Structure 1
Amino acid sequence: MVLPPRRMGRGFKTLREVPCKLLAENLRLNIHQRKTFTGWDLPEGTNLVIAVSFGLFVPPRILTSAKYGGLNVHPSLLPDLRGPAPIHHAILKGYDYTGISLQTLDHRIFDHGTILSQTSRPGISIPPGCTVQELTSLLAPIGAQMLIQGLRDGVYVPPRQNTGWIAEELSDEQLVHAPKVTKADGHIKWTKWTGDDIVRRVRVLGSVWTHAVNKKGDKKRLIFQDAETISSKDIGNHGAKVRLLEDTGVVLETLIWDQGDGSCAIRTLDDSVIRVKKIKEEGKSQRDAMAGLRGYLADD
């Protein structure tokens, strides 16, 4: 069973099929393409349900109709990072390690099944500076192999043993939830985020944004298309003032420095410095950061 194709890209004009549907077509397997489970039953003789990055909650009536219930591969060390975006949040939180968990499908709630297999301590090292796509590409074949090995070993056959280990090391308060990430999560919180926080958001979302007040007193949205942390020794002595808006609407006066190559340096909450090369001003094309900010520099 697969979900219908989703519209992607600019203007949502491109239909993207689920990859496993394309594989199923090549293997000439029967395909059930549906938006919901309503009015649909498992084909006769199905004894195990496997859901990976599926997007729908598998209802109890489907799970109970399969002899061995259901399995799911989740890209985190459960119960940490439960939710639809564990890879995104592993990067956002600055984790050094993550992992894969093979779990049963719970009848009531996502990501609360019995952990049948899990990456061993300390986990899989997250490469420095990696993006969501890069980490996904690293974890996907490892997860596929864990699923295959679990099927060969029959870990889904009762009595099932919980093999998860991370729960022994983290309290409930330390466990992180991993909800869906949206563009709204890229709205910079200047009084809360460190330089590393901003850089991680760019790695996850592709860009971050803020509002600024220009010389005319107008509030405009500025999109930072990139960001990297640099040494404060690289910013020079004389900065210019820019008025940025917190998400609460509070106006903050911030110093920026022209880096001489079109990029700008901005000091952040923790006294670290980020360099931004490209900025897109609301209603305009992307430009070098300093060119994009020129109309926002306060006159001394």
Structure 2
Amino acid sequence: MRVIFMGTPDFSVPALRAIAARHEVIAIYSQPPRAAGRGQKPRPSPVQRAAEELGLPVRVPERLNSSAEQAALAELGADVAVVVAYGLILPKPVLAAPRLGCLNIHASLLPRWRGAAPIHRAVMAGDAETGVAIMQMEAGLDTGPVLAEARTAIGAQDTTADLHDRLAGMGAALIVETLERLPLPATPQPAEGVTYAAKIDKAEARIDWSRPAAEIDRLIRGLSPFPGAWCMVGDERVKLLRSRLVAGSGSASGRAGQVLSGFVIACGEGAIEVLEAQRPGKRPMPADEILRGMNLPARLT
């Protein structure tokens, strides 16, 4: 098939590589290079870098709402467009241009967690499972009918990073299978069970030790690796990146935040053990390695 691929971050790359191995990718759309790093030099997106490595043509428009951009896309004569975390809104003329429309790989089991941060929100909410859905795109936000889905359990110690990589691979396999079976019937999303995965706000990342341990554990795992749930360890702002629930107790009136032993911290209800953390200006490290280089105070705040 003649495929237009539209994506930007690392999550999109496995799907691009899988499609390029089996179909004719006639154009790749990605967001323009953005300033990054200490020198703030423009840095191509992961998808642009992968496309250049594969020798595929890349287009990086700032937006797609001009008639010239829409005409240029339509002239490609694509059978289908595959969209994976592209980051730009597709106007109706773009959605209608490919013969079979635009298919989106979305990292949730729709209609749960429509929107920007479905993996983070699934972990933070304590969902037992998540997955990927192949959706026929329409004008609404992740409202289109679903052609296929694949499911995976969310483990007790899974982080957003763990699920990100797993779901990226699942999405790549599922889109290849879906493309080979087109046209497929699409199932409208049910009206019940709709939730929205709002973009992560950095203000959510401060740990409140008076909350129950299960909630804090989900926050730590859900915000790992970015932006990273954090607390004050003495006078250092430390990101906590992996954790697990352990036996122990705390109370909102006194013991919440108390260091019980090692890196086990009392919460408002129960306790967690920190398994991985990151001190300012340093790489993420296992808890035992961090404890060799710093003394924890009696209480974290």
TM exceeding 0.5: yes
Structure 1 contact 188–210 (Cα < 8 Å) conserved: yes
Q: Is the 8 A contact 1:187 1:210 kept in 2?
A: yes
Distance 1:96 1:79 in 2: 16
User: Which residue is 2:221 aligned to?
Assistant: 203
Say whether residues 1:188 and 2:207 are aligned partners.
yes
Q: Could you tell me how far apart the structure 1 residues matched to 2:154 and 2:78 are?
A: 37
* CA 1:77–1:30: 2 relative to 1, 3 Å: same
The secondary structure found in structure 1 opposite 2:122 is: helix
**Could you list the runs of 5+ residues in structure 1 that have no partner in the other structure?**
215-219, 245-251
Matched, 1:273 2:271: yes
Identity over aligned residues, as a percent? 26
Q: Does 1:83 align with 2:138?
A: no
Deviation at residue 146 of structure 1 after TM alignment: 1.3
Q: Which residue of structure 2 aligns with residue 249 of structure 1? A: none
Structure 2 distance, partners of 1:142, 1:278, is 26
The amino acid of 2:163's aligned partner reads: L
* Superposition deviation, residue 88 in structure 1: 1.1
**Within 5 Å, which residues of 2 pair with 1:281-300?**
288=291, 291-293=295-297
Q: Which amino acid aligns with 1:267?
A: A
Shift of 1:110: 1.9
Q: Which residue of 2 aligns with 1:153?
A: 181
> Whose RCO is larger (CA < 8 A, sep 6+)?
2
Deviations 1:61-111 (A, max 9, x none): 21223332211011111011111111111111222211111111112x221
2:146 is the counterpart of 1:115? yes
Cα distance, 1:24–1:43 mapped onto 2, change above 3 Å: farther
Change (3 A) 1:185 1:205: same
Alignment correspondent of 1:176: 195
Displacement of 1:293 in angstroms is 2.9
Greater C-alpha radius of gyration: 1
Measured after TM superposition, the shift of residue 208 of structure 1 is 2.5
- Structure 1 stretches of 4+ moved >6 Å: 277-283
The reply to whether residue 133 of structure 1 matches residue 131 of structure 2 is no
**Structure 2, unaligned stretches of length 5 or more?**
1-28
Match of 2:11 in 1: none
Partners of 1:161 and 1:281 lie apart in 2 by 48
Partner of 2:133: 101
Secondary structure of 2:177's counterpart equals: helix
- Asked if 2 retains the 8 angstrom alpha-carbon contact of 1:209 and 1:221, the reply is no
Give the counterpart letter for 1:111 in structure 2: D
The number of equivalent residue pairs is 256
One-letter amino acid of the counterpart of residue 113, structure 2: L
- With over 3 angstroms needed to count, the CA separation of the structure-2 counterparts of 1:62 and 1:228, relative to structure 1, is same
Superposed displacement of residue 23, structure 1: 3.0
Q: Return closer, same or farther for 1:96/1:258 CA change in 2, 3 Å cut-off.
A: closer
Q: Residue in 2 aligned with 1:247?
A: none
**Structure 2 counterpart of 1:248:** none
Contact 2:74 2:94 survives alignment (8 Å) = no
* Shift, 1:151, TM fit: 1.3
What is the CA-CA distance between 1:176 and the residue it aligns to? Answer: 2.9
SS at match of 1:128: coil
The answer to which of 135-144 and 123-132 deviates more is 123-132
CA contact (8 A) 2:80 2:98 kept: yes
Instruction: Output the aligned Cα RMSD.
Output: 3.6
Deviation of residue 254 (structure 1)?
3.5
The answer to whether 1:26 aligns with 2:25 is: no
SS at match of 1:99: strand
How far does the alpha carbon of each residue in 1:101-144 deviate from its partner, in whole angstroms, 9 at most, with x for none?
1111112x22101111122xxx3122331222221211112211
Note the 1:7-46 alignment, pairs <5 A: 7-8=35-36, 11=38, 13=40, 16-39=43-66, 40-41=69-70, 42-44=73-75, 45-46=77-78
Deviation for aligned residue 1:53:
1.0
Please report how far the alpha carbon of residue 268 of structure 1 lies from its aligned counterpart in structure 2 after TM superposition. Answer: 1.8
Aligned to 2:187: 162
Q: Could you list the per-position Cα deviations for residues 16-39 of structure 1 after superposition, in whole angstroms to 9, with x for gaps in the alignment?
A: 432332332233332111221133
Q: TM-score, normalised by structure 2?
A: 0.70
State how far apart, in whole Å, the 1-side matches of 2:158 and 2:215 are.
14
State how far apart, in whole Å, the 2-side matches of 1:82 and 1:210 are: 29
